[in-house]
């Protein structure tokens, strides 16, 4: 094997470390679950359950990544925003009987305003994000308790639940139709993915950018396509494609494109790489920071609407520790604690990784306290890996 091929394989493994770790962890849990006769991690209903349980984490992790990119900053208030926006939505829809779509719009506007409130203090007054969002965590949780008066609002009307909790092509469809539609959509997604990757690789080669070896590129395309088709096959055996999967797919693709292929998106990386250099280069760093936190409020509102539909209630305790799930997913997915490094895809893989850990340990009957301990160790290991890698690069 030539030195060039060896380096290409080594680089490919480095870039896909968490994806490989995710596959290995899933296989390990599958073997343990089968050995203890607890069912199967890859049961169609369980795959749907993992998607539904972790949808809010994917949404919040996508927004949290943008905050982390700006220099390792985080938002501690997202769980409280989820509780407050959920409380507002529940009050408008259930108690006041407002139009569902108007209520959703108002909830999204509230999320944007809360994020902008944080953004003003962080970006223009230059108060540390940790302090502002810590205050927000206490403030918005208190307002949520006031709005709900400590009570839980439920149930939500069907015309609201169907937006987030339904399945495509629908529960009334036959099993054959569900499988056909699900697999057809998966095949179309694979074709679009393959075409976009090939076009992107061709453009990078023409511009002289560094690209992976042909073998590594082909293997990646095959693996990703195989995973998509396999998950679609499992979903087709259950109820079809969850509506929430469509929503989070749109969010993930939109933000992946924004961060990787637009100038404002690259500003986030520039800010985290070197804020002073970015400012001297003409980047309005205050506006970039303001956008990151305003956007976090917007995505927190979407997560709130998803959670209200999933639990069919708006409760003052909603969103508890959600910020830790989002932060953990980003760091486990490869985001740097110093900022400037990380991808939306990595954050999604991190969210799925943490979700599989939760689901697998729950199926095995592992105590909830031990589950928290394991998640804490995984997060610490991810950050240690990042710090050690940075120190090795600096010493070279």
| Cβ neighbours of residue 59 closer than 8 Å, sequence gap 6 or more | 248, 251, 299, 302, 303, 306
Contact 110, 328 (CB under 8 A): no
The whole model's pTM is what? 0.92
Percentage of the chain modeled with pLDDT above 70: 94
Chain-centroid distance of CA 78 in Å reads 13
Angle between helices 17-35 and 3-15 (to 10 degrees): 60
State the pLDDT at residue 65.
96
| pLDDT, tens digit, 9 for 90 and up, residues 279-309 | 888 899 999 999 999 999 999 999 999 999 9
Give the other-Cβ count within 10 Å of 247's Cβ: 18
Chain-centroid distance of CA 19 in Å reads 15
* Nearest-angstrom CA–CA distance, 352 and 88: 29
| pLDDT, tens digit, 9 for 90 and up, residues 257-274 | 999 889 999 999 999 888
* Residue 283, SS3 per DSSP: coil
Helix (H) or strand (E) segment spanning residue 241: strand 241-242
| pLDDT, tens digit, 9 for 90 and up, residues 353-394 | 888 888 989 888 888 888 888 888 888 887 787 677 767 766
* Nearest-angstrom CA–CA distance, 80 and 278: 32
* Nearest-angstrom CA–CA distance, 161 and 157: 7
| Cβ neighbours of residue 58 closer than 8 Å, sequence gap 6 or more | 248, 251, 252, 329, 347, 348, 351, 352
């Amino acid at each position: 094997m030539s030195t060039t091929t060896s380096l290409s394989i080594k680089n490919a493994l480095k870039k896909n470390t968490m994806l490989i770790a995710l596959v290995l962890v899933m296989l390990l849990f599958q073997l343990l679950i089968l050995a203890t006769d607890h069912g199967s991690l890859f049961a169609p209903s369980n795959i749907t359950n993992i998607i539904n349980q972790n949808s809010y984490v994917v949404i919040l992790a996508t927004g949290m990544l943008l905050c982390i990119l700006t220099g390792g900053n985080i938002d501690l208030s997202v769980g409280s925003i989820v509780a407050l926006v959920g409380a507002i939505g529940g009050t408008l829809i259930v108690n006041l009987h407002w139009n569902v779509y108007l209520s959703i719009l108002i909830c999204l506007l509230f999320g944007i305003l809360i994020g902008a409130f944080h953004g003003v203090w962080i970006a223009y007054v230059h108060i540390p994000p940790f302090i502002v969002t810590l205050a927000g965590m206490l403030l918005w949780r208190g307002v949520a308790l006031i709005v709900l008066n400590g009570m839980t609002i439920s149930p939500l009307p069907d015309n609201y639940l169907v937006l987030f909790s339904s399945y495509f092509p629908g529960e009334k469809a036959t099993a054959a139709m569900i499988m056909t539609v699900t697999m057809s959509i998966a095949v179309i997604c694979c074709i679009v993915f393959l075409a976009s990757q090939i076009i992107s690789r061709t453009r990078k080669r023409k511009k002289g950018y560094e690209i992976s070896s042909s073998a590594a590129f082909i293997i990646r395309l095959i693996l990703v396509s195989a995973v998509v088709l396999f998950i679609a096959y499992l979903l087709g055996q259950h109820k079809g494609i969850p509506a929430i999967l469509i929503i989070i797919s749109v969010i993930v693709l939109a933000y992946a494109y924004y961060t990787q292929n637009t100038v404002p998106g690259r500003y986030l990386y520039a800010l985290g790489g070197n804020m002073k250099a970015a400012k001297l280069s003409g980047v309005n760093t205050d506006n970039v920071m303001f956008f990151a936190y305003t956007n976090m409020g917007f995505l927190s509102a979407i997560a709130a609407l998803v959670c209200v539909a999933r639990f069919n209630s708006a409760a003052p305790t909603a969103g508890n520790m959600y910020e830790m799930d989002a932060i953990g997913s980003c760091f486990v997915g490869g985001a740097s604690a110093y900022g400037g490094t990380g991808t939306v895809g990595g954050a999604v893989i991190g969210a799925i990784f943490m979700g599989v850990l939760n689901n697998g340990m729950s199926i095995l009957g592992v105590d909830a306290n031990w589950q928290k301990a394991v998640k804490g160790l995984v997060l610490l290991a991810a950050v240690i890996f990042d710090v050690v890698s940075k120190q090795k690069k600096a010493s070279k």
